[in-house]
A and B are shown apart, each in its own frame.
Chain A
Amino acid sequence: MSKAFEDDPDVQLMLRVQGGDEEAFAQILRRYRRPVYNFILRFLQEPGRAEEIAQDVFLKVFQARRSYQPRAKLQTWIFKIATNASLKEIQRRKQSWGLEVPLGPRDEGEAPLEVAVDAHLDLLERLERAEIEVLLKNAMARLPVKERQAILLRKYQGMSYREIAATMSCSEGSVKTYIHRAKHRLQKYLRPKVRPPVSGGAKLSPARVPGESV
Chain B
Amino acid sequence: MATATFQIWRGTRESGEFKDYTTPISDGMVVLDAVHQIQAEQANDLAVRWNCKAGKCGSCSAEINGMPKLMCMTRLNQIPLDKPVRIEPMKTFPLIRDLVTDVSWNFEVKKTIRKFKPRKPDAPDGSWRMSQADVDRPQEFRKCIECFLCQDVCHVLRDHHMHGEFIGPRFMIYTAQLEMNPIDADDRLPDLRKSQGIGLCNITKCCTKVCPESIHITDNGIIPLKERVVDRFFDPLGRLFRKFGG
Q: Do A and B interact?
A: no
